[in-house]
Amino acid sequence: MDSNAIDTVALGGGAHDLSILGLFLSADIIVKAVMLILLCASFWSWAIIFDKLMRLRRLRAEAGSFEESFWSGGSLDDLYDRIGGRPADPMSAIFASAMREWRRSAAKGLTGAANLRASLQDRIERVMQVTLGREMERLERFMAYLATVGSTAPFVGLFGTVWGIMNSFQSIAASKNTSLSVVAPGIAEALFATALGLVAAIPAVVAYNKLSTDFGRYAGRLEAFASEFSAILSRQLDEKA
């Protein structure tokens, strides 16, 4: 008997397909469901990651452009007239909300008395903080999803692994054969589920940490602008006294 024939007999009459597609197609229905869930979770995670990265890049550029216009020495009223109706980024939205409150109060003559000026200053600061919080909440949408995938995907994959190994032991008991050709396919399917869990979790965790840091820095930039703008409005109120 030649070596090819010996290999065929040793493998029980045919070789198992251990490719990625073969492992998926030959897996148990529960393991298949786990794999599909992890693949969908990974795909959606990458979509969120790319969206957040591109949006952050665009917002940084828009904030730089706005700050250049804001600190150029031009009239704040003219700047508000240009962007007040449709602010393009969170920093512009903060500026527009403060100027809107300023104009409303000025139109009602509430910028004269000292107590009215203090009340106006407080309202402007609250309006800017509310706008900042709303804009950051919008930017950080779906961040909780990345955290959830990063923390749960390995355990979902582990569930598929445990289920696949249980099926492998059942196959061993049914066939009463402990050869590698009987055990290997089931073990490979089970480990593939764990691998998919890690593939989904690792990018989600790394992206969540990076994006959280970037959003924190951007929020700090917005808070710094709000404080500076509040100081400018306060100085103008004092000059009108």
In a domain, 172, yes or no: yes
Using CA atoms, how far apart are residues 180 and 183, in angstroms rounded to an integer? 5
pLDDT > 70: what percent of the chain? Answer: 78
Contact 23, 195 (CB under 8 A): no
In a domain, 6, yes or no: no
pLDDT in tens, 120-137: 888 889 999 999 999 999
Which DSSP state fits 71? T
Task: Look over the chain and give the mean of its residue pLDDT values, rounded to a whole number.
Answer: 83
pLDDT in tens, 177-202: 666 666 666 777 778 888 999 999 99
Tell me the residue range of the domain where 46 lies.
28-240
pLDDT-based confidence at 138, cuts 50/70/90?
Answer: very high
Which DSSP state fits 19? S
In a domain, 191, yes or no: yes
Residues 6+ apart with CB under 8 A from 152: 201
Is residue 7 predicted with pLDDT exceeding 70? Answer: no
pLDDT-based confidence at 169, cuts 50/70/90?
Answer: confident
Q: Is 211 helix (H, G, I), strand (E, B) or coil?
A: helix
In a domain, 66, yes or no: yes
pLDDT-based confidence at 87, cuts 50/70/90?
Answer: confident
Contact 207, 149 (CB under 8 A): no
Count the Cβ atoms, other than its own, within 10 Å of residue 19: 9
pLDDT-based confidence at 11, cuts 50/70/90?
Answer: very low
Is the model's pTM score more than 0.85? Answer: no
In a domain, 228, yes or no: yes
Which of the two residues, 26 and 63, has the higher pLDDT score?
A: 63
Which of the two residues, 140 and 119, has the higher pLDDT score?
A: 140
Domains identified in the chain, total number:
1
Q: Which helix (H) or strand (E) holds 13?
A: none
Which of the two residues, 112 and 154, has the higher pLDDT score?
A: 154
In a domain, 84, yes or no: yes
Q: Which helix (H) or strand (E) holds 241?
A: none
- What pLDDT score was predicted for residue 233? 84
pLDDT-based confidence at 1, cuts 50/70/90?
Answer: very low
pLDDT-based confidence at 101, cuts 50/70/90?
Answer: confident
In a domain, 1, yes or no: no
- What pLDDT score was predicted for residue 168? 75
In a domain, 23, yes or no: no
